A = this chain, B = another copy of it.
Amino acid sequence: MDHFLDWRDFAGVQAEKFFKATLWNGEHLMVGLNCLEPGQSQAVHAHQAADKFYLVLAGQGNFTIGDASRNAEMGTLVIAPAGIAHGVKNSGAERLSLLVAIAPAMK
């Protein structure tokens, strides 16, 4: 496997639904890239037995975590502990790119 990846090489667009790429699916830890075009969203959902975080790499998103909603931009870490509902909508005018880490990894 290649241990050095540039997330920008994995960016993409999907018209029907936001774009997802897996960067690494390890034994314990999964890391991926989510790209949401303006107006696209990820429905609020929860992983009952997995912790997750997003890191905003580019663009602007409105995140829901539990009962809270907030806009976040590049450099913000958004934390979704196991069992906590979470989702995001691209609230800006450019592509929203998110690094997403989940553990345990989903196989």
Count chain B CB atoms within 10 A of each CB in A5, A23, A81, A103 and give the residue with the most: A103
User: Is the interface on chain A under 10, 10 to 19, 20 to 34, or 35 or more residues?
Assistant: 35 or more
Q: A23 — nearest CB in chain B belongs to which residue?
A: B77
Known: A4-B72, A4-B78. A53 touches B24 (CB 8 A): yes
4 further contact pairs, Cβ within 8 A, besides A4-B78, A24-B53, A101-B101 = A1-B79, A6-B75, A29-B51, A31-B79
CB-CB under 8 A for A24 and B79, given A65-B3, A101-B101, A103-B104? yes
Separation of A66 and B52 alpha carbons in the complex (Å): 27
CB distance from A31 to the nearest CB of B (A): 6
